[in-house]
Chains A and B, each alone.
Chain A
Amino acid sequence: MMKAVLGLEDGTVIKGTGFGAEGTACGELVFTTQFTGYEEALTDPSYKGQILMFTYPLIGNYGVSGERFQSDNIHAEGLVVREACKNPYHYKSTRSIHRFLEDEGKAGIEGVDTRALTIKTRERGTLRAALITGSDDGEEAVEMARNFPQISDQELISLVTCKEAYSIPAAKGAWKGSGNPRKAVVIDLGIKRNILKNLSKRGIDLTVVPATATPKEIESYEPDLLFVSNGPGDPELATDAINAVKHFAGTVPVCGICFGHQIISLAMGARTYKLKFGHRGGNQPVKDLVENKVFITSQNHGFAVDADSLEGTGLYVKYLNTNDRTVEGVSHKDLDIFSVQFHPEAHAGPTDTEEVFFGKVVKVLGGEV
């Protein structure tokens, strides 16, 4: 059994059993309440800079199959669970979560009272943490956690964006509407595969560009739509993307998901702020204030758009979280600009809003839903 220790910036030391690779991991300790979808979550680039903890105690039950990855690699810095399943079973599984972490060089700790840690996070707000496997030196872990920079001081986008632009053709014959398939430029700030899949399967030709792409570069692809992706960290640091949105707002339709939603709001003049401990899970209720409908959504965000700051931006609150009444989506009263804080593409999580969001994208492009 490999030793392992988790140290928090408040001095908390938790000892457990290590799994995956031997090594260290530093980051914000965040929790998600989804009980399935650990492969999707681990490979979601939005978790860059964060140590991921599952509130559900048993993780890894159905093993790992590459089919469900949201990017090529694990992006979460480390994994904290009550129990990682050693003997998984699923007809598609090719390896255990232990093996997966080991292959990816990531550290995990199990045997942790994750509920107690969740309550601490809820009460104290997100804390920085360090996970060391192969050692149980708590003091060192606490020290590392304290020395690690705050998430708002970390430039994480460059670690997850694509190196150069690439294109994804629209699924053949999928475009419903007049004319040729429309073209969208996607600013990749660490995009999840399933967003790309959802756009292309609706007949949209995609050009994925790096986070640093300039308006000129984007213009060269003659987009019918600008899409801003999800991604890690503080949205205020995504200055290039903010500038791009500013440039195109009003000329081409702009939409985005999660981090992209925050960036669009910032570009339009709103403010964002860090939530106490964020929303991460597949059970978050949001209300469409226009249609008066409630949806269950998948979410993963630590920052949010300040509702009061929307005044004068042309944006209004379209979706509200009915739990804590934070902004979950905005739309522009005159322009084709809309974004959602939640994840309509799910993976992991419920797909209840997939058609609502991506259908709207198609409609904005002149297609039929």
Chain B
Amino acid sequence: MPKRTDIKKVLLIGSGPITIGQAAEFDFSGSQACRSLKEEGYKVVLVNSNPATIMTDPEMADAVYIEPLDAKIVAKIIEKERPDGIIAGIGGQTGLNITSELAEMGVLEKFGVETLGTPVEAITNTEDRELFKETMLRIGEKVPLSRAVSSLKETEEVVEELGLPLIIRPAYTLGGAGGGIARTKEELLEITERGLRRSRINQVLIEESVLGWAEVEYEVMRDANDTCIVICNMENLDPMGVHTGESAVVAPSQTLTDEEHQMLRSASIKIIRALKIEGGCNIQYALKEGDYRIVEVNPRVSRSSALASKATGYPIARVTAKIAVGMTLDEIVNSVTKNTPASFEPALDYVITKIPRWPFDKFTTADKTLTTAMKSTGEVMAIGRTIEESLLKAFKSLDIDSQLGQKDWDAHEITTLLKTPTSERLFVIFNALEKGYSIKEICELSGINPFFVSKMKKIVDMEKRIRVEELTPELLREAKKMGFPDSRLSELTGKSMAEISDLRHAAGIVATFKMVDTCAAEFQAATPYYYSTYEDSCETNPTDRKKILILGAGPIRIGQGIEFDYCTVHAVTALREEGIETHIINNNPETVSTDFDTSDKLFFEPLTLEYVMNVIERERPYGVLVQFGGQTSVNLAIPLKKELQRRTDLDTVIMGTDPDDMDFAEDREKFHLMMEELGIEQPEGGYATSEAEAIEVAKTIGFPVLVRPSYVLGGRAMEIVYDETELQRYMKEAVRVSPEHPILIDDFLEEACEIDVDAVCDQQDVLIGAIMEHIEEAGVHSGDSACVIPPQSLSEETLEKVREYTRKIALALKVKGLINIQMAEKDGKVFVLEANPRSSRTIPFVSKAVGIPLAKIAAKVIAGHSLKDMGYTDEPKVKHVSVKEVLLPFDKLPGADPVLGPEMKSTGEVMGIDYDFGRAYFKAEIAAENLLPLTGKVFLSIRRADKPKLVEIARKLEAAGLELMGTSGTANYLADHGIFLDTVKKVHDGSPNVIDMMRRDEVSLIINTPTSRLSRRDGSRIRRAAVDFKVPYITTIQAAKAAADAIECMKKGNLTIKSINEYHAEIE
């Protein structure tokens, strides 16, 4: 059936902010879907609250709404835009939930919006656990025995019926949030209570345990003509019990016989047909000795479908969008081969390994155990011709401190850690193999298939050989074929990386590149998608064109989010517009940058010196760009520059700001001297490499001080230290984490206002994108602070000073490209905190707030244009207010204290736009799932220092009609100022306290600012409860003030519904 002509305008719903369980994959699928629909001639309206996405670029759709993903707001957009259809399955679980809500609200019917692709009933049939079970039983498919439960009382009966352990899965949640495995009745009650809270329909499913069975996934597609194809299957290394997003995964399956594979493949087709899904769908199975259970069906594109797309080259989201508008698979062209239809099944001739990336380096108190709920923030994918190569490349891509073979556990720990899966599971297995554990023992303890463990054993055996044998060309070749990176060979042999590299080249052992072509070379393909391996023939045919290689950002972590992928994609687009052949090297399967048609050539490789050099050697690009991919690529700048200088046979240069100048900005002393010369003030500071030094420096400056190691992402291990004892403790820990880098110690500017600036410099002029005022005070990591454009409380004088400093610094650092500068204002004085001559996480937010694409402009500057030529000289003047708010992952990490500090903890961001600060902030809070109440009770518990500021806030909240209550201290203070509120018991004084009230849904907002480090248990429990019971909460007095302003504003006016295209048209 050809595409439908009765629909003209299609609404796409994005997935909102990056959070645990929902990463960049939906930007990848959403932007593919937008392009796919536009190329068929449809008008596209897009809604997403996440500014750091390619899909919310104004040119991606005909109208882009950066608005909260809230059904009521989307309903207003529908009323305004009148789309003919809506596609539900592109924006992940969020998109599905909103579509279901819109249908329930009657909005779709009222405005005649048709659900395109997978129908709402299909969504309901998979999401509602009972309905799903019924459907499966009806078509004769096997599901685990289970019961849906809506109250705690029912759990008793379930235990009697199904025994223990049991799996708890809440209905309608992301990444299995709120679910878990209960081994005891107590655990069952606890997890069920949490799960019921999280579920949109107050329902959890308690099911029979298939723990220990193998977990296998299928990605299936179906069109309206009932053609079904299986894109790919994937096998989890971990057996059932670990969420698939938390397990290392290989594709295709490795240990399934054809019979088993076909059994599950046929079941998949049966299921997708029974559910009438039109588009992509993910099905998860538990498999044991020829028997299986269906574990889960996701009737939409997903993290797994993004992985499958990258693993096979088959663009699932693109095809899903076309199916939604009525096209059939045999009518859609396979965009990889360009001459075969999309109605085929990809064949792989390589092994894919995916390994998740966890945030436990940030949340040291959080529970590292892997369960059925997700805790990872991102993932890496690697491609190799063998399991060993694929696995070793994946490890290398993780970009973590510890590499294989570097960690050591004792026998007791190994046994425990083999039994209980944690984020360190694979490392533990390697260590166990090194210690002589047998494959059998390891498999029995871990439940992992011996096939995989014996492959790991091969790696460990090879390591042993390399340690003792002479590194002959033969052994070197064998090791490289197995996938050993030069860095590991260097560690094992004691030779330098350069020596290993030279040895390899002398023996003619160089990387060959193979193509990912969807068809295992059966047909000629047009995809420029490559991976390296060590074999006979190489398939990249370098052209004679001018080429530039851009280093990507790697896996999504806290501190290095989707923003850097956004910058990478923009840089690529800009260079391609210039007619330059642009290549990308990256390893994150979720992203737009690794979509094979984003660049002229995609190299899916670890982001390390060796792999980057492999590409350079083969392609001989004119230049390399390192400033767009965040810390991962910036960290490669100096080593890459040195290696390029060493390799006289290569002419490639690093383009943009010189790595030495980037390094200059990181060097405290040099940078401080430069600031002095420029007459710019900095907080007093120094650095130390020992405890004694640190104490001396801190005493000179005076406590409190801000301490942090140099060269880290997102303020890792950054703290505000109030006295000598704390400093001693900190130094012990910090020196262990990063012994080679000094610790920076700065005066902590209490109650200062923090300012961020993003700018582009061409070494002549400086274009200031925007000045951002932070809502939270200095001391909260800039990545965690909400901020606003234009600044709301800064004087024109201060702003002028900020502009002057920005220009001076950018020019002094000889910046060519992007620069981000952080400053602080206190008592009218402006201090420069740091300058980062590279892309920053606020680039997408600024670009969308002020309507100019900073990363693109920077890339063009690097390519040789001047800002003047391009007409970008003046800071844009905006009429609207844009607020960025962050999304914190506390609800996904049981045990973590939900409090902000100098170390970054947020996973993603949202943007609220309106014509005043209050409404923009209100929108941002809705989008960040922290809905500010307009009625109900507000609980106040404020530390002493913040109390003076509380008075005005309390008055505003009261005037807005909210009921106030608080702990005795707070209540007494306010009473002295004529505001009277109910007193609630402190938590440690027993019940009934605020936690009991939250449990009973009697609190609409918690405002709790933490006291000093030592006595904060009470506050911590309150905040944790707020997270667990989904009560909106605020932990800084500045945010409380912003919230009060927002609530006041909301009482007066309505939210504006406008696309960013409309806002941008108003910018001068």
Contact = CB atoms under 8 A, between A and B. Distances in A.
Nearest to A41: B258
B312 to A, nearest CB: 11
A37 B261 CA distance: 9
Given A68-B258, A284-B344, A285-B330, A87 B450 contact: yes
B269 A115 contact: no
Given A115-B514, A285-B341, A294-B227, A347 B258 contact: yes
Secondary structure dominating the interface of B: loop
A122 B523 contact: yes
Contact of A57 (B257, B349, B454): B349
A43 B269 CA distance: 28
B262 interface: yes
B257 A68 contact: yes
A142 to B, nearest CB: 17
Contact of B330 (A92, A322, A349): A322
Interface string B515-546: 00001111110000000000111010000000
A71 interface: no
Contact of B344 (A61, A85, A323): A323
A35 B252 contact: yes
Contact of B347 (A55, A113, A294, A295): A55
A127 B154 CA distance: 68
Contact of B385 (A37, A57, A87, A118): A57
Contacts of B521: 55, 115, 118-119, 122
Given A113-B535, A122-B523, A322 B340 contact: yes
Contact of B535 (A88, A115, A322): A115
A216 interface: no
Interface string A269-283: 000000000000111
A331 interface: no
A322 B328 CA distance: 13
B588 to A, nearest CB: 24
A118 B934 CA distance: 67
A113 B536 contact: yes
Interface string B271-296: 00000000000000000010000000
B386 A283 contact: no
B131 interface: no
A299 to B, nearest CB: 11
A58 interface: yes
Contacts of B259: 68, 347
The CB with the most chain A CB atoms within 10 A, among B255, B269, B449, is that of B255
Contact of A33 (B225, B230, B386, B522): B522
Given A58-B387, A88-B451, A113-B536, A283 B347 contact: yes
B348 interface: yes
Interface in A319-365: 322-323, 346-352
B258 A40 contact: yes
Interface string B811-835: 0000000000000000000000000
The prevalent SS among residues of A at the interface is loop
Given A68-B257, A68-B259, A294-B329, A33 B347 contact: yes
Given A36-B257, A322-B343, A89 B266 contact: no
A114 interface: yes
Nearest to B537: A116
Interface in B315-369: 328-330, 340-341, 343-351
A60 B1017 CA distance: 57
A175 interface: no
Given A113-B535, A281-B522, A293-B225, A56 B330 contact: no
B620 interface: no
Given A92-B257, A351-B266, A283 B344 contact: yes
B313 to A, nearest CB: 13
A85 B254 CA distance: 11
B578 to A, nearest CB: 33
A291 to B, nearest CB: 10
B520 A82 contact: no
A341 B269 CA distance: 23
Contacts of B341: 285, 322-323
B344 A87 contact: no
Nearest to A348: B258
Interface string A32-73: 011111011000000000000001111001100100100000
A118 B520 contact: yes
Which residue, B252, B387, B449, B522, has most C-beta atoms of chain A within 10 A?
Answer: B522
B229 interface: yes
A295 B343 CA distance: 8
Contact of B340 (A68, A91, A119, A323): A323
A58 B254 contact: yes
B142 to A, nearest CB: 18
A91 B289 contact: yes
A252 interface: no
B523 A113 contact: no
B1030 interface: no
A182 interface: no
Central interface residue in B254, B269, B520, B523, by most chain A CB within 10 Å: B520
Given A58-B351, A68-B259, A119-B521, A350 B340 contact: no
A99 B745 CA distance: 66
Interface residues of A, number: 53
B256 interface: yes
A296 B344 contact: yes
A55 B265 CA distance: 20
A287 interface: yes
Contacts of A37: 257-258
A61 B254 contact: yes
Contacts of A61: 254-255, 451
Nearest to B229: A296
A88 B451 CA distance: 6
A36 B258 contact: yes
B227 A116 contact: no
Contacts of A284: 344
B268 to A, nearest CB: 11
A35 B250 CA distance: 13
A359 B1036 CA distance: 70
A281 B347 contact: yes
B963 interface: no
A118 B348 CA distance: 13
B765 interface: no
A90 interface: yes
Interface in A116-160: 116, 118-119, 122
A77 interface: no
B524 A34 contact: no
Nearest to A88: B451
A292 interface: yes
Contact of B386 (A68, A82, A285, A323): A82
A22 interface: no
Contacts of B523: 122, 323
A83 interface: yes
A294 B386 contact: no
Given A33-B347, A57-B351, A287 B258 contact: no
Contacts of B537: 113, 115-116, 119
Sort A-B residue pairs by CB-CB distance and give the 6 closest, nearest first: A37-B258, A283-B345, A116-B537, A33-B347, A55-B520, A36-B258
25 contacts: A55-B520, A55-B521, A56-B347, A56-B348, A56-B520, A57-B385, A85-B451, A87-B451, A87-B454, A89-B449, A115-B520, A115-B537, A116-B535, A118-B521, A122-B521, A281-B522, A283-B344, A283-B345, A284-B344, A294-B329, A322-B330, A323-B341, A348-B258, A349-B262, A352-B228
Given A61-B255, A89-B451, 17 more contacts: A14-B536, A31-B522, A33-B519, A35-B348, A40-B258, A55-B522, A56-B349, A61-B254, A61-B451, A68-B257, A82-B385, A90-B255, A113-B535, A115-B537, A285-B344, A285-B345, A323-B341
Interface of B: 225-230, 252-259, 261-262, 265-266, 269, 289, 328-330, 340-341, 343-351, 385-387, 449-451, 454, 514, 519-524, 535-537, 539
